[in-house]
Chain A
Amino acid sequence: MNNESQDTSATVSDTTEKVRKSLGKRYAREKRFKLFGVIAIVASLSFLAVLIISITIRGLPAFKQTFLNLDVTLDADTLGVDENPDEDALRKANYNGSIKNSLLALFPDVKKRKDKKALYKFVSTGGQYDLQAMVMADPSLIGQTINVWLPVGDDASGYLRGHIDTSVPEKKRRFKDNQITWIEELKADNKVQTKFNHTFFSRGDSREPEMAGIKGSLFGSILTLMVTLALSFPIAVATAIYLEEFAPKNRWTDIIEVNINNLAAVPSIVFGLLGLAIFINFFNLPRSAPIVGGLVLSLMTLPTIIISARAALKSVPPSIRDAALGLGASNLQVVFHHVLPLAMPGILTGTIIGMAQALGETAPLLMIGMVAFIVDVPTSLTDPATVLPVQIFQWADLPEKGFVEKTSAAIMVLLGFLIAMNAIAVLLRRKFEQKW
């Protein structure tokens, strides 16, 4: 080896030959590797497509609702009210009886108890609430016969949408043969119609899929997010300003920094535990309330907003600070008059993204009891409430076919909000993006 003649490095033509020989295999490997990359991306994006398409297909029908046209006679006898009923009596009146009578009137030859029961299922139990609302708004309707469109019950609407397989033997089917004959008859009479589903947006939760709506949970989400925004935005901006502009480089600020980065990666459910133990059990705040939800979510979104706010502040060039300081502004004036306004678009973008995260969050809210069955639309920060994602979670557990649709539809609404928020964030960034 210590002799030049033992030089083993190949001669020129030798090298070329060897390299050339290796090329085929190496290019095959290159191609394969690149293909893996393409596959990975295409697969990931197809997951996304499958997810969105499957949910859309399931959810679209929920935006439509089937109604049955009925002539309902609101006679005082059936309703069980006297001549001049007070409000309470009107509320408790037997509207169901009127509906049943009018259904029977359509099919006079249905006599058997079992058949009658099957027939009654054509109208959703929510139908009586529609009647109740009408009569309470106008008590003079009592004694009259009115023509109304009432929501169709779950099984019947399932049949009308083709969800019920008629080739299955009758015994194994929820929707029986005689029901099919009746509904077909009604359909032929143009007494069945599909319209846009207002109920879905105008009502709270319900045990009946055709009466369940997202208004309650949507309002819950809005209230919760309001608390989250009101708390997390100022605190996060203040923290970012302190850490980025004023904090001395010492152990303490180092600890704060590491801490914030860690908090950003703490599982959300742990924040739920914190909320349960501290806000509810220690401070005795009400369970299921948007205020507690907002508190928990704001602690959770704080790190996200702080990190993006710091990045935004950092991107403001020092020359601006120097210029303002040179004019005799105090440190705080520099920050509040010059740096902060310039960093604001970036901070807002981060805030919107943080809010989008909070809007989609479910787990910590389960911990603080926002998972109760709540029919009423919440109006204050301490009312029991639920939020959109939790509503989705609750509906997803229910076996009725109608709820699968509702769940998917609620997901579509949720995703719609998230997409809108992210789009605003992207636009904001595009519009105010400055190159220094």
Chain B
Amino acid sequence: MSKENNVPALDLEPDTPTEQTIEEIVASLGDTVGETRVDNPKMSVSNVDVFYAEKQAIFGVDLDIANNEVISMIGPSGCGKSTLLRCLNRMNDTIPICRVTGEITLDGEGIYSKETDPVLLRARVGMVFQKPNPFPKSIYENVAYGPRLHGLNRNKADLDDIVVNSLRKAGIYEEVKNRLDDAGTSLSGGQQQRLCIARTIACSPEVILMDEPCSALDPIATAKIEELIDELRENYAIAIVTHSMQQAARVSQRTAYFHLGKLVEVGDTDTIFTNPRHELTENYITGRFG
């Protein structure tokens, strides 16, 4: 895959009126509806703009991510939800033309500041990707990869413990305990995704970002992952991007609705789904577009 292909698709709403520029539409959306801030946030996004070369993909977003809570980001495709998620652990650094302004903090420290190291940041803010992407190694090696890199274990027994615990927390241990030496790619799609979650947990992150983690999975595997996300909430701050409103309703406590790179509305999941305040949110939730 060539580097040009990493850029997430920027296809905007097909029915975008051609007379208006995106900037004008975004300006017409007004301020974000709802409370963007929480008490004691784990991560905090303030006035963030993201550009791919000249194209602006995110417009002045403010958002907090709280401990022990799942926040879901929803919106039509191309609304910038994945882009924002990738900013939270600086995965966008891998795209040369991507530029981020504004401030994002983790425990009050700016993650784009000079002092923050992206490697350390990514160890603390883990990420689970849209398509399960286990390494072409054994199940054990997949999970042990992160701890080994970061030197989290003192010895082999330590590492074994980390691997087993991570697999257990990801709810996949029972299924794979007898074949830890099999290739990670030999698992089914749902198992692979849980393996990837175990792999992320093994680095003992503080925040877990999930980019449409179930979009490549069947309903049964999806249910298992959703269950898992709910359990993980006890120990981690979790942000999940999803295109399924049902999923957002099932797993998250708070929901943020994005449109054309703008955070339109944010609030308690129940409120958003039962009583949206912004017209666009309502349209989206009632299925008029998206």
Contact = CB atoms under 8 A, between A and B. Distances in A.
Contact present between A and B (CB < 8 A)? yes
Interface of A: 1, 6-12, 15-16, 18-23, 26
B50 interface: no
Contacts of B202: 9
B227 interface: no
Nearest to B161: A8
A270 to B, nearest CB: 37
Contacts of A8: 158, 161-162, 165
A178 B166 CA distance: 93
A23 B150 CA distance: 8
Given A8-B158, A10-B204, A12-B204, A19 B164 contact: no
Contacts of A12: 204, 206
A73 B281 CA distance: 108
Interface string B169-207: 000000000000000000000000000000001111010
B123 A15 contact: yes
B53 interface: no
B151 A1 contact: no
Contacts of B161: 1, 6, 8-9
A16 B151 contact: no
B204 A15 contact: yes
B74 to A, nearest CB: 29
14 contacts: A7-B165, A10-B152, A11-B204, A12-B206, A15-B124, A15-B150, A16-B123, A19-B120, A19-B124, A19-B152, A20-B117, A20-B120, A23-B120, A26-B119
B164 A1 contact: yes
B150 A19 contact: yes
Given A15-B203, A18-B152, A23 B165 contact: no
A26 to B, nearest CB: 7
Interface string B149-167: 1111000001001101110
Contact of A18 (B117, B151, B165, B206): B151
Nearest to B158: A8
A19 B150 CA distance: 5
Nearest to B201: A9
Contacts of B166: 9
A20 to B, nearest CB: 6
Contacts of B158: 8
A7, A8, A18, A26 — most chain B CB neighbours (10 Å): A8
A23 B164 contact: no
A20 B204 CA distance: 14
Contacts of B201: 9
Contacts of B203: 15
Secondary structure of the B side of the interface?
A: helix
Contacts of B164: 1
A8 B202 CA distance: 10
Interface range, B side: 20 to 34
A218 B158 CA distance: 72
A2 to B, nearest CB: 9
Nearest to B205: A15
Nearest to A7: B165
Contacts of B119: 19, 23, 26
Secondary structure of the A side of the interface?
A: helix
B151 A21 contact: yes
B162 A22 contact: no
Contacts of A11: 204
A23 B124 CA distance: 14
A101 B202 CA distance: 97
A18 B158 CA distance: 14
Contact of A15 (B117, B149, B152, B165): B152
Nearest to A8: B161
Contacts of A22: 149-151
What 6 A-B pairs have minimum CB-CB distances, sorted nearest first? A8-B161, A22-B151, A19-B150, A15-B204, A19-B123, A9-B204
B162 A18 contact: no
A9 B123 contact: no
Contacts of A16: 120, 123-124
B165 A9 contact: yes
A26 B148 CA distance: 12
Contacts of B165: 1, 7-9
Nearest to A11: B204
Contacts of B150: 15, 18-19, 22
A7 B161 CA distance: 8
A92 B152 CA distance: 94
A396 B179 CA distance: 64
A394 B161 CA distance: 70
B122 to A, nearest CB: 10
Nearest to B153: A8
Contacts of A15: 123-124, 150, 152, 203-204
Contacts of A23: 117, 119-120
A129 B120 CA distance: 81
Contacts of B152: 10, 15, 18-19
Contacts of A9: 161-162, 165-166, 201-202, 204
B174 to A, nearest CB: 12
A9 to B, nearest CB: 5
Nearest to B202: A9
Contacts of B117: 20, 23
Interface string B118-146: 01100110000000000000000000000
Contacts of A20: 117, 120
B117, B152, B158, B162 — most chain A CB neighbours (10 Å): B152
A21 B154 CA distance: 14
A22 B166 CA distance: 22
Nearest to A26: B119
Interface string B76-95: 00000000000000000000
A11 B119 CA distance: 18
B160 to A, nearest CB: 9
A1 B161 CA distance: 7
Contacts of B149: 22, 26
Contacts of A10: 152, 204
A26 B162 CA distance: 22
A6 B160 CA distance: 13
A1 B206 CA distance: 22
Given A7-B165, A9-B201, A20-B120, 6 more contacts: A1-B165, A8-B165, A18-B152, A19-B120, A19-B124, A23-B117
A4 to B, nearest CB: 9
B205 to A, nearest CB: 8
